A = this chain, B = another copy of it.
Protein backbone atom coordinates (compact mmCIF):
# COMPACT_ATOMS: atom_id res chain seq x y z
CA UNK A 1 0.00 0.00 0.00
CA UNK A 2 1.24 3.48 -0.85
CA UNK A 3 0.83 5.21 2.52
CA UNK A 4 1.09 8.71 1.13
CA UNK A 5 -1.76 8.38 -1.34
CA UNK A 6 -3.79 6.35 1.16
CA UNK A 7 -3.59 9.14 3.76
CA UNK A 8 -4.12 11.91 1.20
CA UNK A 9 -7.23 10.19 -0.09
CA UNK A 10 -8.55 9.84 3.44
CA UNK A 11 -7.96 13.55 4.07
CA UNK A 12 -9.79 14.50 0.88
CA UNK A 13 -12.68 12.33 2.02
CA UNK A 14 -12.66 14.28 5.30
CA UNK A 15 -12.80 17.56 3.34
CA UNK A 16 -15.98 16.30 1.70
CA UNK A 17 -17.29 15.48 5.14
CA UNK A 18 -16.41 18.96 6.39
CA UNK A 19 -18.36 20.56 3.53
CA UNK A 20 -21.37 18.43 4.38
CA UNK A 21 -21.10 19.22 8.10
CA UNK A 22 -20.69 22.97 7.58
CA UNK A 23 -24.16 23.01 6.05
CA UNK A 24 -25.78 20.72 8.65
CA UNK A 25 -28.26 22.31 11.04
CA UNK A 26 -27.80 22.10 14.80
CA UNK A 27 -30.78 19.80 14.97
CA UNK A 28 -29.30 17.43 12.41
CA UNK A 29 -25.98 17.31 14.26
CA UNK A 30 -27.63 16.81 17.65
CA UNK A 31 -29.88 14.05 16.42
CA UNK A 32 -26.91 12.29 14.87
CA UNK A 33 -24.98 12.50 18.16
CA UNK A 34 -27.88 11.10 20.17
CA UNK A 35 -28.31 8.27 17.69
CA UNK A 36 -24.59 7.53 17.82
CA UNK A 37 -24.85 7.22 21.60
CA UNK A 38 -27.64 4.70 21.26
CA UNK A 39 -25.82 2.79 18.51
CA UNK A 40 -22.66 2.43 20.62
CA UNK A 41 -24.71 0.94 23.46
CA UNK A 42 -26.64 -1.29 21.10
CA UNK A 43 -23.43 -2.58 19.56
CA UNK A 44 -21.56 -2.94 22.84
CA UNK A 45 -21.05 -6.70 22.41
CA UNK A 46 -19.40 -6.15 19.06
CA UNK A 47 -17.21 -3.38 20.48
CA UNK A 48 -16.13 -5.52 23.42
CA UNK A 49 -15.31 -8.36 21.03
CA UNK A 50 -13.13 -6.10 18.91
CA UNK A 51 -11.52 -4.72 22.05
CA UNK A 52 -10.72 -8.26 23.23
CA UNK A 53 -8.43 -8.67 20.20
CA UNK A 54 -6.51 -5.53 21.19
CA UNK A 55 -6.25 -6.71 24.78
CA UNK A 56 -5.04 -10.17 23.79
CA UNK A 57 -2.41 -8.59 21.59
CA UNK A 58 -1.39 -6.15 24.36
CA UNK A 59 -1.01 -8.97 26.89
CA UNK A 60 1.02 -10.91 24.39
CA UNK A 61 3.24 -7.90 23.89
CA UNK A 62 3.65 -7.60 27.67
CA UNK A 63 2.12 -4.14 28.04
CA UNK A 64 1.77 -2.87 31.62
CA UNK A 65 -1.37 -3.42 33.68
CA UNK A 66 -2.07 0.33 33.64
CA UNK A 67 -1.81 0.40 29.84
CA UNK A 68 -4.15 -2.57 29.49
CA UNK A 69 -6.61 -0.95 31.87
CA UNK A 70 -6.66 2.22 29.78
CA UNK A 71 -7.20 0.15 26.67
CA UNK A 72 -10.11 -1.85 28.07
CA UNK A 73 -13.72 -1.36 26.95
CA UNK A 74 -16.58 -2.78 29.00
CA UNK A 75 -20.30 -2.10 29.29
CA UNK A 76 -19.73 0.64 31.86
CA UNK A 77 -17.14 2.44 29.75
CA UNK A 78 -19.24 2.20 26.62
CA UNK A 79 -22.17 3.63 28.51
CA UNK A 80 -19.94 6.52 29.73
CA UNK A 81 -18.82 7.13 26.16
CA UNK A 82 -22.46 7.28 25.05
CA UNK A 83 -23.29 9.62 27.92
CA UNK A 84 -20.49 11.90 26.70
CA UNK A 85 -22.05 12.04 23.23
CA UNK A 86 -25.44 12.95 24.70
CA UNK A 87 -23.88 15.71 26.78
CA UNK A 88 -22.20 17.21 23.73
CA UNK A 89 -25.52 17.05 21.87
CA UNK A 90 -27.07 19.07 24.69
CA UNK A 91 -24.47 21.86 24.51
CA UNK A 92 -25.26 25.01 22.52
CA UNK A 93 -24.03 24.95 18.90
CA UNK A 94 -21.20 27.48 18.49
CA UNK A 95 -21.55 27.62 14.68
CA UNK A 96 -23.32 30.68 13.30
CA UNK A 97 -23.07 32.59 16.57
CA UNK A 98 -22.41 36.27 15.90
CA UNK A 99 -20.03 37.14 18.71
CA UNK A 100 -20.32 40.86 18.11
CA UNK A 101 -21.69 43.27 15.58
CA UNK A 102 -21.25 47.00 15.29
CA UNK A 103 -22.25 49.89 13.09
CA UNK A 104 -19.75 51.89 11.05
CA UNK A 105 -20.12 55.62 10.29
CA UNK A 106 -20.96 54.80 6.64
CA UNK A 107 -23.95 52.78 7.81
CA UNK A 108 -22.71 49.26 7.24
CA UNK A 109 -22.92 46.67 10.01
CA UNK A 110 -19.77 44.64 10.62
CA UNK A 111 -19.86 41.48 12.69
CA UNK A 112 -17.89 38.38 13.55
CA UNK A 113 -19.53 35.01 12.99
CA UNK A 114 -18.32 31.69 14.33
CA UNK A 115 -17.73 29.10 11.62
CA UNK A 116 -16.17 25.63 11.63
CA UNK A 117 -12.40 25.32 11.19
CA UNK A 118 -12.74 22.54 8.62
CA UNK A 119 -10.77 19.29 8.99
CA UNK A 120 -9.15 18.48 12.33
CA UNK A 121 -6.61 15.70 12.77
CA UNK A 122 -6.61 14.00 16.18
CA UNK A 123 -3.52 11.95 16.99
CA UNK A 124 -3.85 10.03 20.23
CA UNK A 125 -2.67 7.09 22.25
CA UNK A 126 -4.28 4.06 23.77
CA UNK A 127 -7.68 5.05 25.23
CA UNK A 128 -10.37 4.13 22.69
CA UNK A 129 -12.95 6.44 24.29
CA UNK A 130 -11.05 9.37 22.74
CA UNK A 131 -12.36 8.17 19.37
CA UNK A 132 -15.94 8.95 20.35
CA UNK A 133 -15.17 11.99 22.57
CA UNK A 134 -13.08 13.82 19.99
CA UNK A 135 -15.48 12.97 17.18
CA UNK A 136 -18.47 14.34 19.06
CA UNK A 137 -16.83 17.68 19.85
CA UNK A 138 -15.44 18.19 16.36
CA UNK A 139 -18.69 17.17 14.70
CA UNK A 140 -20.81 19.42 16.91
CA UNK A 141 -18.57 22.37 15.96
CA UNK A 142 -19.06 21.50 12.27
CA UNK A 143 -15.61 20.00 11.70
CA UNK A 144 -14.65 16.71 10.11
CA UNK A 145 -12.17 14.58 12.07
CA UNK A 146 -9.28 12.54 10.81
CA UNK A 147 -8.65 10.08 13.62
CA UNK A 148 -5.32 8.42 14.16
CA UNK A 149 -5.38 6.37 17.34
CA UNK A 150 -2.63 4.21 18.78
CA UNK A 151 -1.92 0.97 16.93
CA UNK A 152 -2.57 -1.02 20.14
CA UNK A 153 -6.24 0.08 20.01
CA UNK A 154 -6.77 -0.32 16.28
CA UNK A 155 -9.46 -3.03 16.45
CA UNK A 156 -11.46 -1.12 19.09
CA UNK A 157 -11.17 2.17 17.21
CA UNK A 158 -12.14 0.57 13.92
CA UNK A 159 -15.28 -0.88 15.50
CA UNK A 160 -16.27 2.42 17.16
CA UNK A 161 -15.72 4.34 13.92
CA UNK A 162 -17.82 1.84 11.97
CA UNK A 163 -20.75 2.43 14.33
CA UNK A 164 -20.39 6.23 14.23
CA UNK A 165 -20.09 6.40 10.44
CA UNK A 166 -23.15 4.25 9.91
CA UNK A 167 -25.21 6.69 11.97
CA UNK A 168 -23.66 9.72 10.25
CA UNK A 169 -24.64 8.37 6.86
CA UNK A 170 -28.17 7.56 8.00
CA UNK A 171 -28.44 11.12 9.33
CA UNK A 172 -27.55 12.66 5.97
CA UNK A 173 -23.99 13.59 6.95
CA UNK A 174 -21.20 12.59 4.55
CA UNK A 175 -19.28 9.69 6.15
CA UNK A 176 -15.99 11.48 5.52
CA UNK A 177 -16.92 13.63 8.52
CA UNK A 178 -15.54 10.74 10.58
CA UNK A 179 -12.40 9.52 8.86
CA UNK A 180 -10.18 6.89 10.41
CA UNK A 181 -6.58 6.26 9.36
CA UNK A 182 -6.91 2.51 9.50
CA UNK A 183 -3.29 1.43 9.38
CA UNK A 184 -0.75 0.80 12.13
CA UNK A 185 2.06 2.24 9.94
CA UNK A 186 3.84 5.12 11.73
CA UNK A 187 4.58 6.69 8.36
CA UNK A 188 0.86 7.46 8.07
CA UNK A 189 1.16 10.07 10.83
CA UNK A 190 4.09 11.74 9.09
CA UNK A 191 2.15 11.91 5.83
CA UNK A 192 -0.89 13.31 7.59
CA UNK A 193 1.21 16.12 9.11
CA UNK A 194 2.25 17.26 5.63
CA UNK A 195 -1.28 17.84 4.35
CA UNK A 196 -1.34 21.62 4.82
CA UNK A 197 -4.32 23.10 3.04
CA UNK A 198 -6.34 19.87 3.35
CA UNK A 199 -6.13 19.37 7.11
CA UNK A 200 -6.57 22.66 9.02
CA UNK A 201 -5.53 21.77 12.56
CA UNK A 202 -3.81 18.96 14.42
CA UNK A 203 -4.53 18.14 18.07
CA UNK A 204 -2.17 15.55 19.54
CA UNK A 205 -3.16 13.88 22.80
CA UNK A 206 -0.77 11.71 24.71
CA UNK A 207 2.67 11.68 26.27
CA UNK A 208 5.29 14.39 25.78
CA UNK A 209 7.19 12.22 23.29
CA UNK A 210 4.22 11.87 20.94
CA UNK A 211 3.44 15.56 21.16
CA UNK A 212 7.01 16.65 20.44
CA UNK A 213 7.22 14.33 17.45
CA UNK A 214 3.97 15.72 16.05
CA UNK A 215 4.91 19.36 16.61
CA UNK A 216 8.35 19.00 15.08
CA UNK A 217 7.07 17.33 11.94
CA UNK A 218 3.84 19.19 11.31
CA UNK A 219 3.33 21.79 8.62
CA UNK A 220 -0.23 22.16 9.90
CA UNK A 221 -0.98 24.30 12.99
CA UNK A 222 -0.86 22.22 16.18
CA UNK A 223 -2.62 22.90 19.49
CA UNK A 224 -1.20 21.07 22.46
CA UNK A 225 0.41 21.06 25.84
CA UNK A 226 3.63 19.21 26.45
CA UNK A 227 3.30 18.73 30.19
CA UNK A 228 1.88 20.18 33.35
CA UNK A 229 4.38 21.44 35.90
CA UNK A 230 1.96 23.32 38.16
CA UNK A 231 2.55 25.38 41.29
CA UNK A 232 0.68 26.53 44.36
CA UNK A 233 2.19 29.51 46.22
CA UNK A 234 1.16 29.83 49.86
CA UNK A 235 1.51 33.53 50.65
CA UNK A 236 2.30 34.87 54.14
CA UNK A 237 -1.22 36.34 54.17
CA UNK A 238 -2.93 33.05 53.29
CA UNK A 239 -5.70 31.43 55.30
CA UNK A 240 -3.51 28.50 56.30
CA UNK A 241 -6.39 26.07 56.71
CA UNK A 242 -7.58 26.89 53.18
CA UNK A 243 -4.01 26.68 51.89
CA UNK A 244 -3.59 23.22 53.36
CA UNK A 245 -6.80 21.97 51.74
CA UNK A 246 -5.93 23.50 48.37
CA UNK A 247 -2.39 22.13 48.32
CA UNK A 248 -3.57 18.71 49.42
CA UNK A 249 -6.28 18.64 46.76
CA UNK A 250 -3.88 19.90 44.08
CA UNK A 251 -1.39 17.10 44.77
CA UNK A 252 -3.37 14.13 46.00
CA UNK A 253 -6.87 14.17 44.45
CA UNK A 254 -5.55 12.70 41.17
CA UNK A 255 -1.77 12.94 40.92
CA UNK A 256 -1.58 11.45 37.41
CA UNK A 257 -3.22 14.45 35.74
CA UNK A 258 -1.58 17.41 34.05
CA UNK A 259 -3.14 19.99 36.39
CA UNK A 260 -1.87 18.35 39.58
CA UNK A 261 0.66 20.35 41.62
CA UNK A 262 4.32 19.36 41.27
CA UNK A 263 5.92 22.09 43.40
CA UNK A 264 4.56 23.84 46.49
CA UNK A 265 6.07 27.28 47.15
CA UNK A 266 5.79 28.54 50.71
CA UNK A 267 6.39 32.09 51.94
CA UNK A 268 9.21 32.00 54.51
CA UNK A 269 7.18 34.12 56.95
CA UNK A 270 4.66 31.32 57.51
CA UNK A 271 6.82 28.32 56.62
CA UNK A 272 7.33 27.32 60.27
CA UNK A 273 3.65 27.44 61.13
CA UNK A 274 2.47 25.88 57.86
CA UNK A 275 4.95 23.19 56.88
CA UNK A 276 4.91 20.74 59.80
CA UNK A 277 1.18 20.00 59.69
CA UNK A 278 1.01 20.17 55.87
CA UNK A 279 3.90 17.79 55.31
CA UNK A 280 2.53 15.40 57.92
CA UNK A 281 -0.73 15.26 56.00
CA UNK A 282 1.11 14.64 52.73
CA UNK A 283 3.21 11.88 54.28
CA UNK A 284 0.11 10.22 55.68
CA UNK A 285 -1.30 10.18 52.13
CA UNK A 286 1.87 8.51 50.87
CA UNK A 287 3.36 11.56 49.16
CA UNK A 288 7.14 11.46 48.72
CA UNK A 289 8.43 14.94 49.59
CA UNK A 290 11.56 16.64 48.23
CA UNK A 291 12.51 19.80 50.07
CA UNK A 292 14.80 22.81 49.68
CA UNK A 293 17.35 23.46 52.48
CA UNK A 294 14.93 25.77 54.37
CA UNK A 295 12.16 23.17 54.17
CA UNK A 296 14.49 20.48 55.49
CA UNK A 297 15.46 22.70 58.45
CA UNK A 298 11.81 22.99 59.43
CA UNK A 299 10.85 19.39 58.62
CA UNK A 300 13.86 17.13 59.08
CA UNK A 301 14.05 13.81 57.31
CA UNK A 302 12.79 15.06 53.94
CA UNK A 303 14.82 14.16 50.89
CA UNK A 304 16.73 17.08 49.24
CA UNK A 305 15.24 18.54 46.05
CA UNK A 306 17.63 19.01 43.11
CA UNK A 307 17.25 21.86 40.63
CA UNK A 308 16.33 19.45 37.83
CA UNK A 309 13.39 18.20 39.90
CA UNK A 310 11.67 21.55 39.43
CA UNK A 311 11.21 20.79 35.71
CA UNK A 312 9.68 17.34 36.23
CA UNK A 313 6.03 16.38 35.83
CA UNK A 314 5.93 13.50 38.31
CA UNK A 315 2.40 12.31 37.48
CA UNK A 316 2.69 10.60 40.82
CA UNK A 317 2.58 11.13 44.60
CA UNK A 318 5.84 13.09 44.63
CA UNK A 319 6.11 16.78 45.54
CA UNK A 320 8.83 19.43 45.56
CA UNK A 321 8.61 21.88 48.46
CA UNK A 322 10.44 25.20 48.34
CA UNK A 323 10.49 28.10 50.78
CA UNK A 324 10.62 31.50 49.02
CA UNK A 325 11.26 34.99 50.36
CA UNK A 326 8.13 36.66 49.03
CA UNK A 327 5.63 36.90 46.15
CA UNK A 328 8.29 38.15 43.73
CA UNK A 329 10.55 35.18 44.39
CA UNK A 330 7.57 32.84 43.95
CA UNK A 331 6.69 34.43 40.60
CA UNK A 332 10.32 34.24 39.49
CA UNK A 333 10.34 30.53 40.30
CA UNK A 334 7.13 30.05 38.35
CA UNK A 335 8.40 32.08 35.37
CA UNK A 336 11.47 29.86 35.26
CA UNK A 337 10.13 26.36 35.92
CA UNK A 338 6.41 26.40 35.18
CA UNK A 339 5.08 24.71 32.05
CA UNK A 340 2.54 27.59 31.90
CA UNK A 341 -0.31 25.19 32.56
CA UNK A 342 -2.00 25.96 35.93
CA UNK A 343 -0.57 28.06 38.74
CA UNK A 344 -2.31 29.19 41.93
CA UNK A 345 -1.78 31.56 44.84
CA UNK A 346 -3.41 31.25 48.24
CA UNK A 347 -3.70 34.66 49.89
CA UNK A 348 -6.13 36.97 51.69
CA UNK A 349 -4.24 39.99 50.33
CA UNK A 350 -6.12 41.66 47.49
CA UNK A 351 -3.16 43.41 45.87
CA UNK A 352 -0.94 40.33 45.85
CA UNK A 353 -3.70 38.19 44.39
CA UNK A 354 -4.26 40.69 41.60
CA UNK A 355 -0.53 40.98 40.85
CA UNK A 356 -0.27 37.19 40.64
CA UNK A 357 -3.21 37.02 38.21
CA UNK A 358 -1.82 39.80 36.06
CA UNK A 359 1.82 38.73 35.98
CA UNK A 360 1.84 34.93 35.94
CA UNK A 361 1.69 33.85 32.30
CA UNK A 362 -0.08 30.48 32.39
CA UNK A 363 -3.12 28.98 30.70
CA UNK A 364 -4.99 29.28 34.00
CA UNK A 365 -4.02 31.45 36.96
CA UNK A 366 -6.04 30.86 40.13
CA UNK A 367 -6.54 32.70 43.41
CA UNK A 368 -7.61 30.54 46.37
CA UNK A 369 -8.58 27.51 44.28
CA UNK A 370 -7.00 24.18 43.44
CA UNK A 371 -5.01 23.82 40.19
CA UNK A 372 -7.07 20.66 39.60
CA UNK A 373 -9.97 22.91 38.62
CA UNK A 374 -8.33 23.92 35.32
CA UNK A 375 -10.58 21.73 33.24
CA UNK A 376 -13.32 22.22 30.64
CA UNK A 377 -16.08 20.68 32.75
CA UNK A 378 -15.03 22.52 35.92
CA UNK A 379 -14.86 25.84 34.06
CA UNK A 380 -18.30 25.28 32.58
CA UNK A 381 -17.23 24.87 28.93
CA UNK A 382 -19.18 21.60 28.81
CA UNK A 383 -16.48 19.28 27.57
CA UNK A 384 -12.94 19.67 26.38
CA UNK A 385 -10.88 18.20 23.60
CA UNK A 386 -7.69 18.96 25.51
CA UNK A 387 -5.79 21.75 27.20
CA UNK A 388 -3.56 24.11 25.25
CA UNK A 389 -0.56 25.90 26.66
CA UNK A 390 0.06 27.49 23.26
CA UNK A 391 -0.55 31.18 22.82
CA UNK A 392 -2.08 31.12 19.38
CA UNK A 393 -5.82 30.46 18.87
CA UNK A 394 -6.64 28.76 22.17
CA UNK A 395 -5.11 28.65 25.61
CA UNK A 396 -6.35 26.52 28.49
CA UNK A 397 -9.20 24.01 28.18
CA UNK A 398 -10.47 23.79 24.59
CA UNK A 399 -14.22 23.40 24.28
CA UNK A 400 -16.56 23.80 21.34
CA UNK A 401 -15.80 27.50 20.82
CA UNK A 402 -12.11 26.75 20.46
CA UNK A 403 -12.98 24.29 17.68
CA UNK A 404 -14.33 27.16 15.58
CA UNK A 405 -12.87 30.25 13.95
CA UNK A 406 -14.65 33.47 13.05
CA UNK A 407 -15.19 35.29 9.80
CA UNK A 408 -16.19 38.90 9.31
CA UNK A 409 -19.65 39.51 7.90
CA UNK A 410 -20.85 42.80 6.47
CA UNK A 411 -24.47 43.86 6.01
CA UNK A 412 -24.36 46.84 3.68
CA UNK A 413 -26.64 48.85 1.48
CA UNK A 414 -24.27 49.93 -1.24
CA UNK A 415 -21.18 50.99 0.72
CA UNK A 416 -18.04 51.70 -1.32
CA UNK A 417 -14.43 52.42 -0.40
CA UNK A 418 -13.80 56.14 -0.77
Q: Are A364 and B412 in contact (CB under 8 A)?
A: no
In A386-418, which residues have CB < 8 Å from any B CB?
390-393, 395-397, 405-417
Asked whether any CB of chain B lies closer than 8 Å to the CB of A370, the reply is yes
Q: Are A393 and B395 in contact (CB under 8 A)?
A: no
Residues of chain B contacted by A392 (CB below 8 angstroms)? 117, 200-201, 221, 223, 392-393, 405
Asked whether any CB of chain B lies closer than 8 Å to the CB of A56, the reply is no
In angstroms, Cα B170 to Cα A382, docked, is 48
Q: How far is the CB of A326 from chain B (nearest CB, A)?
A: 17
Residues of chain B contacted by A372 (CB below 8 angstroms)? 416-417
Which residue on chain B has the smallest CB distance to residue A366? B410
Q: How far is the CB of A133 from chain B (nearest CB, A)?
A: 20
Q: Are A369 and B412 in contact (CB under 8 A)?
A: yes
Asked whether any CB of chain B lies closer than 8 Å to the CB of A228, the reply is no
Interface stretch, picked from A36-44, A57-65, A355-363, is: A355-363
In A36-88, which residues have CB < 8 Å from any B CB?
none
Would you give the 0/1 interface string for A330-370, flagging 1 where the beta carbon is closer than 8 Å to chain B?
Answer: 00000000000000100000000100011101111111111
Q: How many copies does the complex hold?
A: 2
Most chain B beta-carbon neighbours within 10 Å: one of A200, A249, A379: A379
Asked whether any CB of chain B lies closer than 8 Å to the CB of A246, the reply is yes
Given contacts A102-B380, A369-B410, A409-B364, contact A253 B395 (CB under 8 A): no
Given contacts A380-B104, A412-B367, contact A221 B221 (CB under 8 A): yes
Interface stretch, picked from A108-116, A156-164, A183-191, A302-310, is: A108-116
Q: How far is the CB of A122 from chain B (nearest CB, A)?
A: 15
Q: Are A23 and B359 in contact (CB under 8 A)?
A: yes
Residues of chain B contacted by A215 (CB below 8 angstroms)? 196, 219
In angstroms, Cα B417 to Cα A96, docked, is 34
Q: Are B200 and A361 in contact (CB under 8 A)?
A: no
Which residue on chain B has the smallest CB distance to residue A98? B357
Which residue on chain B has the smallest CB distance to residue A368? B412
Q: How far is the CB of A358 from chain B (nearest CB, A)?
A: 7
Q: How far is the CB of A140 from chain B (nearest CB, A)?
A: 17
Most chain B beta-carbon neighbours within 10 Å: one of A216, A223, A357: A357
Asked whether any CB of chain B lies closer than 8 Å to the CB of A204, the reply is no
Would you give the 0/1 interface string for A184-217, flagging 1 where the beta carbon is closer than 8 Å to chain B?
Answer: 0000000000001000110000000000000110
Binding site for B on A (CB under 8 A): 22-23, 96, 102, 104, 108, 110, 113, 115, 117-118, 196, 200-201, 215-216, 219, 221, 223, 239, 242, 245-246, 249, 253-254, 344, 353, 357-359, 361-370, 372-375, 378-380, 390-393, 395-397, 405-417
Closest 5 CB pairs of A and B: A369-B412, A372-B417, A366-B410, A249-B416, A364-B408
Given contacts A363-B407, A373-B417, A374-B410, 11 further A-B contacts (CB under 8 A): A104-B378, A113-B357, A245-B414, A344-B410, A357-B409, A364-B407, A367-B412, A368-B415, A392-B392, A395-B406, A395-B408
In the complex, 9 of the A-B residue pairs with CB atoms within 8 angstroms, ordered by the A residue number, are A108-B369, A117-B392, A118-B391, A239-B414, A364-B410, A366-B409, A369-B413, A373-B410, A395-B407
